[in-house]
């Protein structure tokens, strides 16, 4: 990829404050709200129209999933940390994206492709650290937002984008996470909701917000999860957690357990938006990795106005931090719970579509 690809620029709280007043921030929040609205009251099986663009994105995700077959995990039984074969998958994806984009996005101008390719490849995790978190998930939303801003995606596509495309991306990420044992980004993983994701809970709560019978406490009912997890992202995410960790949600995911005490899904849905703004889009440790480019720009930031003598920066694993601002990427390395689960079954060290595997006690 070219040197002018999107790059991180937020270094300080002052930079983030400026970003939160920017047009790009407002467009990003509105896009998430629009997708949430498109998901409201609709199960994954809802009969939404799939445009040619939507079908192209789904085919692109199929192509990427095929790369996981070409790059199987290497024997790594002595470590619960990320499998180095992920880097081969990542490099192959990066090398093939130009050709894939020429096939599936022929009408996109060449000078816009670099932004699209960067957001997409960065949505699968970090090559160096072999980890994944809410910032990588956000990159996939930025990929979709860029297509929307280029008028490749239309408002009428949004139901299919959230119910088909985003849902398929999450399913693909569970394959990648299971196969390569991606570590949770940072020392605690998506600020307490889940080891990796946030948006399946945000969109999933919207899906359930008009359901006549299911309530937030239903996540504790195994029969409900078995019956409805294929139709609702929130329940699928809970089922995936339960497939990896045997301890109750009170111990393995206490925030989700607390949220289950809320009376209605509508209130959960509203709370998820507030939490996403505060705990993902409002945190320097995550947003210092946010990528700005031609389609999602930002003006000059306060830290960029400082002279080189005034700036105090710390180099870490190929990126920089302002002194005193430690990144979500730079916390204590946390081993993959998926790795621990698979290691409990020697001879079954493989990716299992959908993340189904024998659970182990949370540790």
pLDDT of residue 106: 92
Give Rg (Cα) of the chain.
20
Q: CB–CB of 22/135 below 8 Å?
A: no
pLDDT at 172 (0 to 100): 98
Q: What gap in Å lies between CA 95 and CA 152, rounded to an integer?
A: 23
What pLDDT sits at residue 275?
95
The pLDDT value recorded for residue 11 is: 97
Q: Structure pTM?
A: 0.87
Q: What is the pLDDT of residue 358?
A: 36
Q: What is the reported pLDDT for 201?
A: 97
| pLDDT tens digits in sequence order for the chain, 363 residues long | 445 899 999 999 999 999 999 999 999 999 999 999 999 999 999 999 999 999 999 999 999 999 999 999 998 776 677 899 999 999 999 999 999 999 999 999 999 999 999 999 999 999 999 999 999 999 999 999 999 999 999 999 999 999 999 999 999 999 999 999 999 986 444 445 888 999 999 999 999 999 999 999 999 999 999 999 999 999 999 999 998 877 778 888 889 999 999 999 999 999 999 999 999 999 999 999 999 999 999 999 999 987 555 555 555 455 555 555 555 555 555 555 655 555 554 544 333 334 433 333 322
């Amino acid at each position: 990829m070219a040197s002018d690809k999107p790059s991180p620029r937020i270094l300080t709280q002052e930079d983030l404050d400026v970003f939160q007043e920017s047009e790009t921030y407002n467009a990003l929040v509105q896009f998430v709200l629009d997708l949430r609205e498109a998901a409201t009251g609709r199960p994954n099986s809802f009969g939404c129209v799939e445009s040619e663009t939507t079908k192209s994105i789904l085919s692109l995700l199929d192509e990427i999933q095929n790369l996981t077959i070409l790059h199987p995990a290497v024997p790594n039984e002595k470590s619960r940390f990320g499998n180095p074969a992920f880097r081969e998958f990542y490099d192959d994806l990066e090398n093939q994206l130009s050709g894939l984009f020429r096939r599936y996005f022929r009408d996109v101008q060449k000078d816009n492709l670099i932004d699209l390719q960067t957001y997409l490849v960065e949505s699968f995790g970090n090559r160096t650290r072999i980890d994944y978190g809410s910032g990588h998930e956000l990159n996939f939303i930025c990929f979709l937002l860029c297509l929307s801003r280029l008028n490749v995606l239309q408002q009428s596509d949004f139901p299919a984008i959230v119910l088909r495309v985003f849902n398929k991306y999450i399913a693909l990420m569970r394959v990648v996470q299971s196969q390569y044992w991606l570590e949770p980004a940072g020392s605690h993983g998506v600020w307490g909701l889940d080891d990796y994701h946030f948006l399946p809970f945000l969109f999933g709560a919207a899906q359930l917000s008009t359901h006549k019978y299911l309530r937030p406490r239903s996540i504790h009912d195994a029969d409900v999860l078995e019956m409805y997890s294929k139709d609702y992202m929130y329940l699928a995410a809970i089922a995936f957690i339960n497939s990896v960790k045997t301890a109750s949600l009170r111990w393995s995911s206490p925030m989700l357990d607390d949220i289950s005490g809320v009376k209605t899904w509508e209130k959960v849905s509203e709370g998820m938006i507030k939490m996403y703004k505060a705990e993902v889009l409002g945190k320097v440790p995550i947003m210092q990795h946010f990528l700005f480019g031609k389609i999602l720009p930002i003006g000059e930031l306060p830290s960029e106005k400082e002279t080189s003598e005034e700036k105090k920066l710390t180099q870490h694993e190929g990126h920089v931090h302002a002194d005193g601002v430690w990144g979500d990427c730079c916390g204590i390395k946390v081993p993959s719970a998926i790795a621990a689960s698979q290691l409990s079954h020697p001879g079954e060290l493989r990716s299992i579509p959908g993340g189904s595997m024998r659970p182990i006690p949370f540790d």
